């Protein structure tokens, strides 16, 4: 079994991986956009983003100065010895990672605005749990969510009479209104159905799906493709310079809804979709992947 100290150092490496190295699926999509983009200015901007990605990886420095707020998505077997101390371990790993990588401290008190100095604070890092009965495994995904792309995020509970068409209109209008501010090209997560908090959770988790994957339900997969097309027709382009690359992907996740409500939530991420996953098996074998 891994020691607590070893687990902390593996988590620090997982945070480092997320901060300095863009996942290959996201980089691949940016490369494809660069090849297919017709606007010269948009191509230049995509080239600069690709150079930034390469430099960050080579020099081992963060892809962006904005650390974002840090969330962890944990899948833990109920037999894992780390369940009880994990929240404390995650905070410790964030504190060390902030100092060692280094990461800009971003967590400030809601009333005083005072920065905690180490990217931890009340409910931060946020931890989402999924427990797997009778297993001894641990899978921790770290997600660094940039602040610039937070402003367009929203949730709304519509009447079913308004339904899907209205929800999609809201998504496109919100992206259009915020223009270059969330640092496009964007990855857009949309959550539908459930209660408002379920829709928000689905929208954020949708960002963690591999870029290029489609919703397994064919009508929702078609909706993803149609929304991507529509958003790219807005012509905002990378960092607002115009062109067809406003978004890299739209991911939709849906829950059953109450007959009287139609919840919709949108979670937006800039091109710097920083995530990495640490997996530990029962024999202590581990892997960090993106
Ligand atoms: S929104 Fe993304 S690219 Fe823009 S400053 Fe924040 S992390 Fe960086």
Q: Give yes or no for a contact between 105 and 23, defined as CB atoms under 8 angstroms apart.
A: no
- Which atom of ligand 1 sits closest to the CA of residue 270? 2
- Give me the half-sphere count of Cα atoms (radius 13 Å) on the Cβ side of residue 217: 8
Q: Kindly give the confidence (pLDDT) of every residue in the chain, 290 residues in length, as a single tens digit, with 9 standing for 90 and above.
A: 799 999 999 999 999 999 999 999 999 999 999 999 999 999 999 999 999 999 999 999 999 999 999 999 999 999 999 999 999 999 999 999 999 999 999 999 999 999 999 999 999 999 999 999 999 999 999 999 999 999 999 999 999 999 999 999 999 999 999 999 999 999 999 999 999 999 999 999 999 999 989 999 999 999 999 999 999 999 999 999 999 999 999 999 999 999 999 999 999 999 999 999 999 998 889 999 99
The Å distance, Cα 34 to ligand 1 centre, comes to 19
Rounded distance from Cα 125 to ligand 1 centre (Å): 18
Q: Which residue's CA lies nearest to atom 6 of ligand 1?
A: 146
- Ligand 1 centre and the CA of 133: distance in Å? 38
Atom of ligand 1 nearest to the CA of 149: 1
Distance CA 57, CA 160 (A): 47
Closest alpha carbon to 252 in 264, 239, 244: 264
**Nearest atom in ligand 1 to 150's CA:** 1
Using a 6 Å CB cutoff, which residues line ligand 1?
64, 66, 68, 146-149, 182-183, 270, 272
**Strand locations in 87-196, DSSP E?**
126-132, 138-145, 154-158, 186-192
pLDDT of residue 212: 86
Give residue 15 CA to ligand 1 midpoint distance, Å: 17
How much is the pLDDT for 1? 78
pLDDT (0 to 100) of residue 245: 98
Rounded CA separation 225/238 (Å): 19
| pLDDT at 184 (0 to 100) | 98
Specify the pTM: 0.95
Q: How far is the CA of 148 from the centre of ligand 1 (A)?
A: 5
Q: Do the Cβ atoms of 238 and 185 come closer than 8 Å?
A: yes
Give, for ligand 1, the residue of 53, 143, 179, 270 to mutate: max count of ligand atoms closer than 8 Å to Cβ.
Answer: 270
pLDDT of residue 126: 97
> Ligand 1 center to residue 215 CA distance, Å?
26
CA of 238 to the centre of ligand 1 (A): 12
Q: Exposure of 171 by Cβ count < 10 A (0-12 exposed, 13-18 middle, 19+ buried)?
A: buried
């Amino acid at each position: 079994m891994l020691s607590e100290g070893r687990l902390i150092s593996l988590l620090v490496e997982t945070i480092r991986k997320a901060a300095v190295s863009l996942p290959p699926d996201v980089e691949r999509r940016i490369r494809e956009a660069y090849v297919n983009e017709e606007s010269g200015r948009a191509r230049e901007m995509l080239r600069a983003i690709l150079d930034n990605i390469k430099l960050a990886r080579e020099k081992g420095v963060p892809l962006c100065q904005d650390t974002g707020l840090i969330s962890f998505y944990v899948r833990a077997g109920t037999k894992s010895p780390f369940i009880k101390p994990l929240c404390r371990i995650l905070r410790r790993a964030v504190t060390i990672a902030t100092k060692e990588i280094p990461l800009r401290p971003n967590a400030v008190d809601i009333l005083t605005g005072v920065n905690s100095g180490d990217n931890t604070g009340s409910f931060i890092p946020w931890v989402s749990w999924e427990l797997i009965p009778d297993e001894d495994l641990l899978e921790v995904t770290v997600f660094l969510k940039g602040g610039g792309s937070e402003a367009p995020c929203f949730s709304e509970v519509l009447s079913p009479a308004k339904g899907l068409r209205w929800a999609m209109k809201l998504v496109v209008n919100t992206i259009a209104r915020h223009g270059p501010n969330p640092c496009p090209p964007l990855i857009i997560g949309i959550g539908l159905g459930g209660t408002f908090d379920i829709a928000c959770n689905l929208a954020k988790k949708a960002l963690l799906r591999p870029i290029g994957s489609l919703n397994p339900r064919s009508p929702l997969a078609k909706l993803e493709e149609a929304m991507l097309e529509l958003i790219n027709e807005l012509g905002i382009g990378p960092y607002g310079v115009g062109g067809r690359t406003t978004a890299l992907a739209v991911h939709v996740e849906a829950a059953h809804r109450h007959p009287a409500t139609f919840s919709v939530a949108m979670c937006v991420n800039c091109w710097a979709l920083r995530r990495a996953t640490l997996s530990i098996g029962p024999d202590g074998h581990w892997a960090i992947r993106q």
